Amino acid sequence: MESAIWIENHIYTIGKLTWELPEPENLLKHEWKILSAPETVNPNMPKINLSFQPWGALEEHINAIIVQADFVQAFGTYHGTIELSNITYRIEDGFGVAENHFSKW
């Protein structure tokens, strides 16, 4: 399961997400937006509208001619809302992680 969320002891699969990220040089300085993609929203899946403010990260950057990789595993806080079954859950200062990964082989 790539993306999931736990609400009241139940796990829910999250549909496709849209990520709005700052420029690579500002990835850890500015917030990330994480939203449910409009085409995947249905009543049985959580609707995500979150901001993620990174505090720091584990990073790896490789540029070796035939292999290129940029990996950032950030930790920080989430803010925003998650809607499920006509209930809106408000998230304030929720600690968590997020990843941004690019690879070219």
How confident is the model at residue 50, as a pLDDT?
96
How confident is the model at residue 70, as a pLDDT?
82
Instruction: Estimate to the nearest angstrom the gap between the alpha carbon of 59 and the chain centroid.
Output: 16
Q: Model confidence over 23-61: pLDDT tens digits?
A: 888 888 999 999 998 876 677 788 999 999 999 988 787
Regarding pTM above 0.85, the answer is: no
Q: Model confidence over 8-22: pLDDT tens digits?
A: 898 888 888 898 999
Instruction: Estimate to the nearest angstrom the gap between the alpha carbon of 79 and the chain centroid.
Output: 12
Q: Model confidence over 61-81: pLDDT tens digits?
A: 788 888 888 888 899 999 999
